[in-house]
Amino acid sequence: MEFPDRSEIVDLIDPISHPSFVRVNYEPSTISLEDPLAATRAELATLPLGDLETGATIAIGVGSRGIHKIDDIVAETVSFLDDRGFESVLVPAMGSHGGATAAGQREVLEALEITEERVGAPIDARMEGEQIGTVDVGGSETAVHIAVAALEADAVMVINRVKPHTNFTGRIESGLCKMLAVGLGKQAGARIFHSTAIEQGYVPTIESMVERIRESVPLLGGLAIVENFHEETGHVEAIPADCLEEREEELLELAREEMATLPFEDLDLLVVDEVGKEISGAGMDTNVIGRYRVLNAPDPASPDISLIYARSLTEGTKGNGNGIGLADVTRQAAIEQLDLQKTYANALTSGSLAKSKLPIVAPDDELALRIALNALGRYDSETVRVAWIENTTHLNEFRVSEALLEDLPADAVIREHERLAFGNGTATFESVE
């Protein structure tokens, strides 16, 4: 598909003056775990491993998210189980990610530095799943699938971060339970889950499926990770299978308190340098940008952001542009990074089609910003409220237009005043003395 080049649209919108910017460091107080690996080993010792025979195989479900030191935590888990006389096998628990292929899911794990050599255990990335039963969710009979690779093991556990989800709000959101119900079901299981969840609600669907999994699978439980504002490990906890829901609900509250967000209730424009699946399942954390764009789920109450400009995809997302549809404007460079097969596999499995729609595509930064700022109506460079971030994970440093200075919290530090410059249409920032 060809998009208009600069010469075809440059005269449609008048040039504009750009706001002045300020580079800011933001360091709110947050929890921190001094030795995550020691905590991992100590917590794993609390799981009910005593009934397993020496040499038993334990399937460890791991996902596609860019969790801090996830490769180290997985490797430490494998080492701990090995010391106890068990055999580990890693099972990608990521639904349709990686284009819903075994090779693609291995590639996603490799991008997170989770390889057989790195963690000391084989990876079984087969996409085959098996139906282990059905559940009734609001009168809707729903099949529950589990990866064959997990079912062939003597016991199953999962490792995941607990955090607010990007599609819904409830007592259980993103974490161990959702990984069991969705990620470990591979593409077929994830598609069935989302179909029911969109109609009947995410939380009741997760709860019903986890109960069936607990009854049908030798489930040990899981290792839950809560990250702090800096997306570093703040808390690690092993949760036995019989209390997953109750404890995860409590950890979700901790995660909400610690998660990285921007300190603004409303913005005219948010510029995001990169979008990617390792940053968020939605490419951009919807709790940061204030947009779910999901059927039967209202958007978060805040922040209220009028327009979003997404500039590119991360290397780690491997072309999966799910989330690009949450933006209003993008540029040609991002489109050239897209792998539509991977993007569509994600969208069709989740049923969240809006996240994979294409926004307005500009040839470069200068025209993209001109398009976005003009679309605000009665644009004024001195009063426009613009924030510019690397991605929705790294929010300890960002840029804001000067109109936002009065809204900065006390723990934000102004580092430098800057102005926008463009070389061949690409935006850069220059220091203002």
Question: Within 13 Å and on the Cβ side, how many CA atoms surround 140?
Answer: 19
Sequential pLDDT tens for the chain (433 residues): 789 999 999 999 999 999 999 999 998 888 999 999 999 999 999 999 998 999 999 999 999 888 999 999 999 999 999 999 999 999 999 999 888 999 999 999 999 999 999 999 999 999 999 999 999 999 999 999 999 999 999 999 999 999 988 778 889 999 999 999 999 999 999 999 999 998 899 999 999 999 999 999 999 999 999 999 888 999 999 999 999 999 999 999 999 989 888 999 999 999 999 999 888 888 998 889 999 887 767 777 789 999 999 999 999 899 999 999 999 999 999 999 999 999 998 888 888 899 999 999 999 999 999 999 999 998 999 999 999 999 998 899 999 999 999 999 988 999 999 999 999 999 999 999 7
* Backbone phi, psi, residue 105, to 5°: -70, -35
Collect all residues with Cβ–Cβ distance below 8 Å to 105 and sequence separation of at least 6: 64, 92, 94, 97, 98, 125, 127
- Tell me the whole-structure pTM to 2 decimals: 0.76
Closest by alpha carbon to 198, among 345, 356, 350? 350
Distances, alpha carbon 8 to alpha carbons 4, 366, 371, in Å = 6, 15, 14
* Backbone phi, psi, residue 228, to 5°: -90, -170
Amino acid letter, residue 129? G
Joined tokens for residue 367: 């025209």
pLDDT of residue 421: 95
Could you please report the per-residue DSSP string of 235-268?
A: EEEEEEGGGHHHHHHHHHHHHHHHS---S-SEEE
In angstroms and rounded to an integer, the radius of gyration of the C-alpha atoms of the chain is 22
pLDDT of residue 345: 87
pLDDT of residue 292: 83
Answer yes or no: CATH 3.30.479.10 is held by domain 36-258.
Answer: no
pLDDT of residue 219: 97
Q: Is 247:234 a contact under the CB 8 Å cutoff?
A: no
Residues in a beta bridge with 427: 422
Joined tokens for residue 85: 């006389």
Query: If you search the block for the tokens 């860019």, which residue do you land on?
Result: 66
pLDDT of residue 203: 94
Distances, alpha carbon 394 to alpha carbons 7, 161, 173, in Å = 35, 16, 21
Q: Is 269:307 a contact under the CB 8 Å cutoff?
A: yes
Closest by alpha carbon to 423, among 373, 361, 365? 365
Rounded to whole angstroms, the Cα distance separating 268 from 306 reads: 5
Alpha helix (H) residue ranges in 84-201 = 102-111, 116-119, 148-151, 176-181, 186-200
Residue intervals in the chain for CATH 3.40.50.11440: 36-258
Collect all residues with Cβ–Cβ distance below 8 Å to 57 and sequence separation of at least 6: 86, 87, 88, 89, 152, 153, 154, 155
Joined tokens for residue 299: 């958007």
Task: Determine the 3-state secondary structure of 204 from DSSP.
Answer: helix
pLDDT of residue 1: 76
Angle at alpha carbon of residue 162, lines to 90 and 60, rounded to 5°: 10
pLDDT of residue 167: 78
pLDDT of residue 295: 75
